[in-house]
Structure 1
Amino acid sequence: MPDTAPDVIHNAHEQRFESTIDGHLNVADYVLSNGTLVMTHTAVHPSLRGRGVAAALVERALEFARAEGLKVDPVCSYVQGYLQRHPESRGLVA
């Protein structure tokens, strides 16, 4: 596990949060719909799994939702699991 969280950027044009690590693009895709951030897909390169990359992507997406006053629709199974493990974020669920 790395000492620091990976850098995550919001790529609004592509509607995703992303982080490139060791040359691999990792993403949390979304669609904005009627004040809701619909989290559709999270993908992390297999060589990076277990290093907290997906969690960092989702955390950044939830920070964005809070800052923008958006609700979150966790269509992605990873995001659903993340919200179960982090009850403090469940108030964002649409």
Structure 2
Amino acid sequence: MSENIKIEKKEAGSGGRYVATLSGHEAEMAYSRASPKLIIIDHTAVPDALRGQGVGQALALHAVEDARAGGWKIIPLCPFMRAQSLRHEEWADVIQQK
């Protein structure tokens, strides 16, 4: 995974997104806040130029670390985040499967 991936959290209203910037391209993971202690990750987009560089995984890990720090859980509605959550048993403390 590239060490140059910078991830920012951008919140707006009842949701937000994590944005990763690398080599002038942006990837994102969007979420909506279901409650103060629960977010739903419903969309991940990684442009073709960034595929295969670990950007999606970096976004997923960032969301998990943010949930741990903030004390909330994640419902992985997005197919990518759902697949990642099933691959990473160590994330079970913050992942809430439906």
1:6 aligned residue: 5
Please list every run of 5 or more consecutive structure 2 residues that lacks an aligned counterpart in the other structure: none
Please list every run of 5 or more consecutive structure 1 residues that lacks an aligned counterpart in the other structure: none
* Greater strand share, structure number: 2
1:28 aligned residue: 29
SS in 1 for 2:93: helix
Structure 1 residue runs of 4 or more that deviate by more than 4 Å after TM superposition: none
TM-score, structure 1 normalization: 0.89
Percent of pairs with identical residues = 31
- Aligned counterpart for 1:85 among listed residues 70, 80, 87: 87
Rounded to whole Å, the distance in 2 between the matches of 1:77 and 1:5 is 25
Deviations 1:44-65 (A, max 9, x none): 0112111000011111111111
Rounded to whole Å, the distance in 2 between the matches of 1:73 and 1:61 is 11
Higher mean C-alpha deviation, range 62-71 or range 13-22: 13-22
CA contact (8 A) 2:41 2:76 kept: yes
TM-score, structure 2 normalization: 0.86
* Greater helix share, structure number: 1
CA contact (8 A) 1:5 1:56 kept: no
Structure 1 residue 19 displacement after superposition:
1.2
Rounded to whole Å, the distance in 2 between the matches of 1:46 and 1:66 is 30
Structure 1 residue 91 displacement after superposition:
2.2
SS in 2 for 1:12: strand
Distance 1:53 1:84, change over 3 A: same
Distance 1:5 1:76, change over 3 A: farther
After superposition, residues 21-60 of structure 1 pair within 5 angstroms as 21-34=22-35, 35-60=37-62
2:71 aligned residue: 69
SS in 2 for 1:8: strand
